[in-house]
Amino acid sequence: MSTLISPAALTAPDTHLFISPHYDDIALSCGGTAALVAEAGKDAVVGLLFGDHPDPAEPLTDFAKSLHDQWRMDAEEVIAGRRAEEAASCRILGLRDVFLPFRDALYRGANYLNDDQLFGALRGSDHDLPERIVAAIAAEGFRPVGARAYAPLASGFHVDHQLAFQAGVLLASYGWEVWFYEDLPYSLLENRVGDRISRAGEHLESAAAVDVSSVWTKKIDAIMAYPSQLKVIFESYVGAGSSREAIDQVMSEYSKEAGGGRHAERFWQLAS
C-alpha cells in the first residue's frame, strides 16, 4: 500500500486535466481526487474523449443498438442524455467539461461488433488516435507547465481506455506530469490491476494514493448522477447491486483496502 499523500502535494499544480474515455469514468475512478482539487480552487477539467455524436450518415451496428436498449435511450437521445448526466456529475464534483471531437468505439464503423472485440486489441484506423487526442488537447490550449494530466491505466482493457492510456504515455513524452488512475469498477474484479500493469507495455510505478475520505459522499453522489449506466456497470459487469447502498458498499470495500482503512484512490506513473 502506498503512503497517503497530503492535500498540498496533490494540489500543487494549477491545472488538473482528467482525461475521461467516457462520460462516467472520472466520477467512478478518481472522483474523490477531482473533488479535492476543485475544493482547493484549482482548475479541474474533465477532458471527455469519446463523447461525440454518431455520424448520421453511418448506420448503427446491431451491437450499438443493443447497448442503447440497455441504456433505455435511442440513438437521438443517447449523447444528449449522457451529457446531461455528465453535467450533473460535474456540478457535484466542481469540475468543468471540455469535449474533444472523437466518437465512442461503438460509433467508429464496424471495428467493434461485440464485447470480445470491445475489450480486445485495437482495430482498424484506431491506431493513430492517441496522436490525434494529444493534438486535440493542445488545440484546447492545455500545456504541460504548471499542470498534471490524469489518464486511465486501462485495467478493464476497453479499447477506448487503452487509447486514452496511450495518449497519456504520449503526453508524458512531451513533458507532462501524468498520473494513471485505476479504472473503476473494472478494477473491482480480481487481479485486474496487476494483470494490466504486467501487460501495459510500459514500466509503471506507484505515484500516489490519495485520501478521499472527506469527499467520499460527494464521489458516490457523482456516480449516482449516471442512472443510465448503473445497472450495466454494477449488476451486469461487477455482479453487485445498482442501488446507492450496494454501490457505496462495493466501492468502499475496495477503496479502504487500498487505503489501509481510509478511502483512497491510487495512481501510477511511468518509471523514470
Contacts of 20 (CB under 8 A, 6+ apart): 26, 46, 47, 48, 49, 164
- pLDDT category at 254 given cuts 50, 70, 90 is very high
Residue 268 has pLDDT above 70, yes or no: yes
For 4-270, which CATH superfamily applies? LmbE-like (3.40.50.10320)
Give the full edge-to-edge strand order of the sheet including 264-270. Answer: 4-5, 204-211, 264-270, 177-181, 147-152, 15-20, 43-48, 96-99
Q: Average the pLDDT over 130-136 and give the result.
A: 98
Task: State the DSSP code for 212.
Answer: -
Q: Count of CB atoms within 10 A of residue 217's CB?
A: 13
User: What's the confidence (pLDDT) of residue 73?
Assistant: 75
Q: How confident is the model at residue 2, as a pLDDT?
A: 65
Residue (of 61, 114, 108, 71) closest to 231 by Cα position: 71
**Residue type present at position 52:** D
Q: What is the pLDDT of residues 58-80, one digit of tens each?
A: 899 999 998 888 777 776 788 89
Provide the percentage of residues in the chain whose pLDDT is more than 90: 79
Report DSSP letters for 224-254, one per residue.
Answer: TT-TTTHIIIIIIIS-S--SHHHHHHHHHHH
Contacts of 211 (CB under 8 A, 6+ apart): 4, 5, 259, 262, 263, 264
pLDDT of residue 68: 84
pLDDT in the model for residue 25: 98
Give the pLDDT confidence score for residue 236 in this predicted structure. 86
- The larger pLDDT score, comparing residue 238 to residue 178, is at 178
Indicate the pLDDT class of residue 248, thresholds 50, 70 and 90. Answer: very high
Least confident interval from 26-35, 54-63, 134-143, 208-217: 54-63
Kindly state the cell numbers that stand for 11. Answer: 494540489
Rounded to an integer, what distance in angstroms lies between the CA atom of residue 23 and that of residue 19? 10
Contact assessment for residue 64 and residue 106, using Cβ atoms and an 8 Å cutoff:
yes
Which residue bears the cell 482525461? 19
| Longest Cα–Cα distance in the chain | 52
For residue 24 the three cell numbers come to 462516467
Q: What is the pTM of this model?
A: 0.95
Q: What are the pLDDT digits (tens) for 146-202?
A: 999 999 999 999 999 999 999 999 999 999 999 999 999 999 988 899 999 999 999
> What gap in Å lies between CA 196 and CA 49, rounded to an integer?
21
Phi–psi pair at 226, nearest 5 degrees? -115, 65
For the residues 11-20, what does the mean pLDDT come to?
96
